[in-house]
Amino acid sequence: MRHTAGTLLVGLAVVAAGIAVAMLRVNPYLYFAGYVILQYVVIATAWNILGGYGGYVNFGTPAFFALGAYTAVVLIQWIRAPLPVLLLAGGLVSALLGLGIGYLTLRLRGVFFSIATLALSIVLQTMIMNWDYVGGSRGLSVLRPSGPPFGNYVVFLFTVMVALAVGAVTVARFIERSWIGRGLSALRDNEEAAECMGVPTLRLKLFATTVSGFLLGVAGAPFPYYVTFVEPNSAFAIDYAVNALAMPMIGGTTSWIGPVIGAVLLGSAQQLATVTISSEMNLFIVGVVLVAFVVLAPEGILGLVRRLRGR
């Protein structure tokens, strides 16, 4: 109980700090960049629940993210639904997709699962490109609601993303420390042995894919208001697939803090590269850093720290 209270307190403190930063009204670009970094905290954390804890590598992150974004687009177009509804609906629709890929794990393991999720992303993108109501391949402009808190919608979205990041990390941390997280590690290590030791592997996999899908969808739901022009190529960007995997791997996949470290470091580096060099440098940086880590520190920064501490 004291632990839970402590976690809650830290979470609230981070959200409060986010609001304080929002009220500071520093250079607007910082909120813009901060949003992206926090969005990656959510994405990397969500990916890691399935990929890091459970060992099922999802290459289809763009599908879940974009599904959240396009669910929001539909609701905005249709009834101009308020942001909390967009977040919830985007999460739920992606959670359903997650549940679907959970059943895929019955037949597909390892690299075959990963390929299937990649294919899923491509199929979904093609479908969206041919759906005129959400703008098809040309894309669609979205009008932000007027009169946002803090007087600026991006600043407001920044605080929303702070709260979502805190929420996602809290969920991941809770899972990691419960029997569910231990069961997922067991099935990652050896699925047959886990099942034979009483771990309900299918149920845990469905749980992981659903929660992971939900959080990825939630991360995508504010996207239309953030960019104000949604088109398939940006919503389904390969960056999401690569970063979702690279950030936890660089930070360390075995603990909730790993994806956070990875997202903050890599996300910041990418934002910096975007302003100083060019946005094309983003994936190049990720590629180089990822290769370096896979070769030199396969357990990520957490693994390095553990090794330095000598345990």
Partner 1 sequence: MAGALLEVDGLTKRFGGFMALNRVTIHVNPGERFGLIGPNGSGKTTLINCVSGSLPADGGRIVFEGHDITSMPAHRRTRLGIVRSFQIPKPFRSMTVLENLGIPLENAAHGRAAEGAGAMEILGTIGLASKAHLRPAGLTQIEMRKLELARAMAARPKLLISDEAMAGLSSAEVDDILTILFRLSAQGITIIMIEHIMRAVMRFSERIVVLDAGERIAEGTPDEIGRNPAVEKAYLGE
Residues within the interface to partner 1 (CB under 8 A): 179, 182-183, 185-186, 188-190, 192-202, 254
Burial 160-179 (b: 16+ CB within 10 A, else e): bbbbbbbbbbbbbbebbeee
For residue 207, the minimal CB distance to partner 1 (Å) is 14
List the one residue out of 163, 149, 113, 129 whose CA is nearest residue 235.
Answer: 129
Q: Which is nearer to partner 1, 105 or 254 (CB)?
A: 254
Q: Which is nearer to partner 1, 190 or 228 (CB)?
A: 190
H/E element, 75: helix 61-79
For residue 26, the minimal CB distance to partner 1 (Å) is 42
Q: Which is nearer to partner 1, 48 or 201 (CB)?
A: 201
Burial 46-71 (b: 16+ CB within 10 A, else e): bbbbbbbbbbbbbbbbbbbbbbbbbb
Alpha helices in 221-308 (DSSP H): 223-227, 232-235, 238-251, 257-276, 281-296, 300-308
Q: Which is nearer to partner 1, 25 or 203 (CB)?
A: 203
Determine the distance from the C-alpha atom of residue 173 to the mean position of all C-alpha atoms in its chain, rounded to a whole number.
15
Tokens (6 digits) for 96: 């359903």
Task: Find tokens 């709260």 and name the residue.
Answer: 163
In angstroms, the CA 305 to CA 285 distance is: 22
Q: Which is nearer to partner 1, 106 or 143 (CB)?
A: 106
For residue 197, the minimal CB distance to partner 1 (Å) is 4
Q: Which is nearer to partner 1, 39 or 105 (CB)?
A: 105
Q: Which is nearer to partner 1, 11 or 200 (CB)?
A: 200
For residue 256, the minimal CB distance to partner 1 (Å) is 16
In angstroms, the CA 229 to CA 77 distance is: 13
Answer positive or negative: Cα dihedral of 206, 101, 111, 297.
Answer: negative
For residue 163, the minimal CB distance to partner 1 (Å) is 32
Amino acid 203 reads: R
Asked whether 212 and 100 are in contact (CB, 8 A), the reply is no
Tokens (6 digits) for 238: 């390969």
For residue 183, the minimal CB distance to partner 1 (Å) is 6
For residue 17, the minimal CB distance to partner 1 (Å) is 34
Amino acid 277 reads: I
Asked whether 104 and 116 are in contact (CB, 8 A), the reply is yes
For residue 217, the minimal CB distance to partner 1 (Å) is 29
Q: Which is nearer to partner 1, 190 or 278 (CB)?
A: 190
